């Protein structure tokens, strides 16, 4: 592994460890910790709302661009050159930004059965491992997503004459929203659909 790939992993691992310690520190305690926890949850509520709106708008754009693509191809027999790229970009934004909402709601592939069956220290260890592994993955997504957006900023999307960086920007932006949602889920666990499934 070359030095170019080692540094991001080291920085991401260190940031993950700091975030994990901070999250555990916030989770238990009162006074200052309770106020900070409430601040993080308020920030998450705002962030999750923004993420949900962006994801819904991206899905709406994808639907209408896809509809236009079908109409243009079959009704007017003049295929649109931009609609396919717009659909693809909008779906990428929807998925990466929508990830934050899914993580906050607890609708992720997780170890919920083990969480329900465990108590005390074992539960804290499982929650910490789950939080650390997902934060590490999101950190890597942020680092390399940002790097890719920087690398392709002078290239244009086919048919749209827009920088490809706008498409790749969904990765680091979605990772930031997802990190916030994940930490908020750790502090205030919500698993509505999983609770009703059992």
Contact between 160 and 82 (Cβ < 8 Å): yes
Other beta carbons within 10 Å of 39 = 11
Structure tokens that stand for 133 in this block: 């592994």
Among 15-19, 113-117, 146-150, where is mean pLDDT lowest?
113-117
Distance CA(126)–CA(185), nearest Å, equals: 14
**Among all chains, which residue has been given the structure tokens 């059965």?**
113
Share of the chain above pLDDT 90, in %: 36
| pLDDT over threshold 70, residue 110 | no
**Among all chains, which residue has been given the structure tokens 């709406």?**
60
**What pLDDT was estimated at residue 111?**
57
197 band by pLDDT with thresholds 50, 70 and 90: very low
**What pLDDT was estimated at residue 26?**
86
Other beta carbons within 10 Å of 170 = 23
Average pLDDT over residues 167-188: 92
Query: When comparing pLDDT for 82 and 5, which is higher?
Result: 82
Among 35-44, 101-110, 153-162, where is mean pLDDT lowest?
101-110
């Amino acid at each position: 592994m070359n030095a170019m790939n080692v540094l991001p992993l080291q920085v991401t691992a260190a940031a993950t460890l700091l975030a994990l310690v901070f999250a555990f520190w916030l989770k238990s305690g009162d006074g200052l910790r309770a106020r900070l926890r409430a601040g993080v949850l308020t920030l998450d509520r705002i962030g999750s709302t923004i993420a949900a709106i962006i994801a819904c708008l991206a899905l709406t754009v994808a639907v209408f661009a896809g509809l236009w693509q079908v109409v243009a191809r079959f009704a007017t027999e003049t295929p649109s050159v931009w609609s396919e790229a717009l659909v693809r970009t909008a779906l990428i934004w929807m998925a990466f930004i929508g990830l934050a909402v899914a993580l906050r709601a607890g609708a992720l592939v997780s170890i919920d059965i083990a969480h329900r069956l465990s108590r005390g220290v074992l539960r804290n260890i499982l929650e910490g491992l789950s939080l650390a592994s997902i934060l590490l993955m999101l950190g890597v997504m942020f680092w390399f997503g940002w790097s890719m957006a920087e690398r392709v900023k002078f290239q244009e999307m086919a048919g749209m004459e827009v920088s490809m960086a706008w498409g790749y920007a969904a990765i680091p932006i979605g990772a930031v929203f997802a990190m916030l949602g994940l930490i908020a889920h750790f502090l205030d666990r919500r698993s509505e659909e999983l609770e009703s499934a059992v």
